[in-house]
């Protein structure tokens, strides 16, 4: 059987794990953009020594973030934004369609190449509209993380969000300040049937200890700049290992334009990104994991649905800094700077959905905004800034897509190398302001119990941000009716051998991190599909 997987992100990895376990050697078609070679060389040099041996010039390269002075800095890798892409840099408007698109990734490993490894299994209430159960998803999550190092402590979060690796003792070490903050927040939880709330240490796909040739976290303070030690999980680690083990055939540099079923075969049309060469692959089954934006594009173009308005749901939220009367010592740079704590609560006046909050002390990006770098940390000003930052906390709140805005996209007459270009606009939830204000009041109430006051003038809304999750353009349903509905296996248009496995097919998007969720759903679909 000849099988193709389109894409190389977390969803692609989930499908590939299932296919390989079934004895199939798939072909992976992928754009496969990589970190620029000079930066790869710097990364290799830094990873071979302890952080104490890094030179000031290397640190400047590692910490370079040209967006650090902007209102909402972007997550970069060693100063590179190679894993971001869009049809046009023009902003998406809410009043009219414009020739642009939501952000997508053409990188080897997709967005996981730059974003962190946070995860948290969904609650039942957050996927109540899905045609599959949480138990089924969690089973596939546990299969997916068998060979992935996870920092997953068994704490208060476990009551509502099940553990994936029971008994694991590989947990990242919190600093004294982070531990103090966790104890304080935990002591102040006031969970009731009308307003449940729980806090715990964050769950992250990160190796906490070195194993053989694999490095564990070195607590260098540059998690948000791209882990040079590869301790933070990225999908391309597994893709690269599958290539080395000859478990897959990898075709890099190709973009898929259309897919079509012809009898029992699937025809995949693609174009080489560098040469413009066109090629058609004929396969028995195809798994589409190109990401919500590109999978939507491919499917619309495949059916010549020009002018059809597809909706891409988005989670919502905001970033809210707090000034704390209680001092929580900052150990930067000798710490892990991923989100330290997860706070989960429900605002039942709005819905049954959990609200996900990642709480951190200032990381390297915020330290840079405050003027603190490695070279200045031991100066008088540096010591003052570091001390003062112990009274600063940052909360990133994320809501279920039911409370978010959405993108409306369509393809028209604009093509680049045979690939349709999106026309997009944003539909802002009419209750956006009411919802965000209600959630912020609850968040501020929780923090006030510990003497922390919101710095309202620094609050950053997410309605136009790119750091939140999106998908649901071809949602799974038990009885497909709409032109963009798919069945329980992510099959669109009544097709039998094309399976969409990325966030495009999630009926809704929980506020919690969804990378692992999408990987598990892809694993579920591929496990079932290959047995058909």
| 49 phi-psi bin (left φ>0, alpha ψ -120 to 50, beta other) | beta
Report the distance separating Cα 216 and Cα 218, nearest Å.
6
Q: Which tens digit of pLDDT belongs to each residue from 379-398?
A: 877 788 889 899 999 999 99
Contact 426, 309 (CB under 8 A): no
**Cβ-based burial of 183 (10 A; exposed 0-12, middle 13-18, buried ≥19):** exposed
SS3 track for 453-472: EECHHHCEECCCCCCCCEEC
Domain at 3-49+73-529: CATH code: 3.50.50.60
pLDDT on residue 375: 66
pLDDT on residue 60: 87
Report the distance separating Cα 231 and Cα 205, nearest Å.
8
Neighbours of 384 (CB within 10 A): 11
Residue 132: partners with Cβ closer than 8 Å, 6 or more residues away: 476, 488, 521, 524
**Per residue in 130-162, is it b (16+ CB within 10 Å) or e — as a string?**
bebebeebbebbbbbbeebbbbbbebbbbebbb
Neighbours of 168 (CB within 10 A): 16
Q: Which tens digit of pLDDT belongs to each residue from 357-376?
A: 999 998 887 777 777 776 67
Report the distance separating Cα 99 and Cα 415, nearest Å.
11
Confidence (pTM): 0.95
First-residue to last-residue Cα distance in the chain: 12
Contact 208, 355 (CB under 8 A): no
| Nearest alpha carbon to residue 79 among 97, 67, 88 | 67
Segments making up each domain of the chain, as ranges: 3-49+73-529
- Read off the tokens for 349: 């006046």
Report the distance separating Cα 361 and Cα 174, nearest Å.
11
Report the distance separating Cα 106 and Cα 32, nearest Å.
6
- Read off the tokens for 491: 């099959």
Identify the H or E element spanning 235. helix 235-244
Report the distance separating Cα 391 and Cα 393, nearest Å.
7
Residues in the chain, pLDDT under 70: 68-72, 374-375, 462-467
Over its C-alpha atoms, the chain yields an Rg (Å, rounded) of 23
Residue 325: partners with Cβ closer than 8 Å, 6 or more residues away: 391, 451, 452, 453
SS3 track for 71-105: CCCCCCECCECCCCECCCCCCCCCCCCECCCCCEC
Contact 255, 31 (CB under 8 A): yes
pLDDT on residue 462: 59
Question: Taking the CA of residue 386 as centre, how many other CA atoms within 13 Å lie in the half-sphere pointing to its CB?
Answer: 20
| Nearest alpha carbon to residue 406 among 317, 318, 311, 473 | 311
Report the distance separating Cα 357 and Cα 199, nearest Å.
9
pLDDT on residue 374: 67
Helix axes 134-144, 515-529, angle to 10 degrees: 90
Q: Which tens digit of pLDDT belongs to each residue from 168-222?
A: 778 999 999 999 999 999 999 988 877 899 999 999 999 999 999 999 999 999 9
Question: Taking the CA of residue 16 as centre, how many other CA atoms within 13 Å lie in the half-sphere pointing to its CB?
Answer: 30
Neighbours of 209 (CB within 10 A): 15
272 pairs with which residues across the strands?
254
Helices (H), 145-234: 176-187
Report the distance separating Cα 358 and Cα 317, nearest Å.
11
- Read off the tokens for 120: 């948290």
Identify the H or E element spanning 24. none
């Amino acid at each position: 059987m000849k099988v193709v997987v389109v894409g190389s992100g977390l969803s692609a990895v989930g499908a590939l794990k299932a296919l390989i376990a079934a004895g199939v050697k798939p072909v992976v078609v992928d754009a496969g953009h990589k970190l620029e070679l000079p930066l790869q060389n710097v990364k290799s040099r830094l990873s071979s020594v302890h952080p104490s041996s890094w030179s000031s010039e290397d640190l400047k390269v590692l910490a370079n973030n040209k967006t650090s002075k902007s209102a909402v800095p972007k997550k970069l890798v060693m100063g590179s934004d190679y894993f971001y892409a869009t049809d046009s840099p023009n902003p998406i408007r809410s009043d009219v369609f414009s020739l642009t698109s939501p952000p997508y990734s053409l990188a080897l490993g997709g967005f996981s190449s730059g974003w962190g490894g946070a995860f948290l299994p969904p609650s039942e209430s957050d996927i109540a509209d899905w045609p599959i159960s949480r138990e089924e998803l969690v089973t596939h999550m546990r299969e997916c993380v068998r060979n992935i190092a996870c920092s997953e402590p068994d704490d208060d979060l476990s009551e509502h969000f099940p553990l994936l690796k029971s008994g694991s003792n590989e947990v990242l070490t919190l600093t004294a300040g982070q531990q103090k903050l966790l104890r304080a927040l935990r002591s102040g939880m006031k969970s009731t049937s009308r307003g449940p709330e729980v806090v715990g240490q964050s769950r992250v796909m990160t190796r906490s200890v070195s194993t053989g040739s694999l490095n564990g976290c070195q607590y260098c303070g540059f998690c948000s700049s791209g882990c040079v030690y590869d301790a933070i999980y990225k999908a391309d680690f597994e893709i690269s290992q599958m290539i080395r083990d000859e478990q897959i055939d990898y075709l890099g540099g190709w973009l898929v334009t259309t897919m079509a079923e012809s009898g029992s075969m699937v025809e995949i049309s693609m174009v080489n990104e560098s040469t413009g060469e066109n090629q058609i692959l004929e396969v028995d089954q195809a798994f589409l994991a190109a990401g919500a934006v590109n999978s939507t594009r491919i499917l619309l173009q495949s059916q010549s649905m020009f002018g059809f308005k597809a909706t891409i749901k988005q989670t919502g939220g905001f970033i809210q800094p707090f000034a704390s009367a209680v001092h929580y010592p900052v150990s930067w740079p000798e710490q892990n700077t991923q989100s330290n704590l997860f706070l989960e609560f429900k605002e039942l006046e709005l819905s049954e959905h959990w609200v996900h909050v990642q709480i951190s002390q200032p990381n390297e990006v915020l330290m840079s905004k405050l003027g603190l770098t490695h070279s200045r940390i031991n100066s008088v000003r540096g010591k003052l800034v570091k001390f003062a930052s112990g009274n600063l906390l940052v909360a990133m709140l994320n809501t279920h897509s039911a409370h978010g805005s959405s993108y409306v996209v369509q393809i028209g007459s604009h093509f680049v190398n045979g690939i349709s270009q999106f026309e997009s606009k944003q539909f802002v939830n009419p209750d956006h302001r009411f919802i965000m204000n209600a959630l912020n009041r609850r968040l501020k109430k929780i923090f006030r119990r510990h003497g922390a006051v919101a710095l309202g003038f620094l609050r950053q809304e997410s309605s136009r941000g790119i750091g939140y999750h999106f998908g649901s353009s071809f949602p799974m349903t038990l009885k497909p009716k709409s032109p963009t509905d798919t069945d329980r296996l992510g099959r669109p248009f009544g097709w039998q051998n094309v399976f969409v496995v990325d966030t495009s097919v999630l009926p809704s998007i929980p506020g919690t991190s969804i990378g692992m969720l999408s990987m598990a759903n892809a694993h579920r679909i591929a496990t079932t599909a290959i047995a058909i």
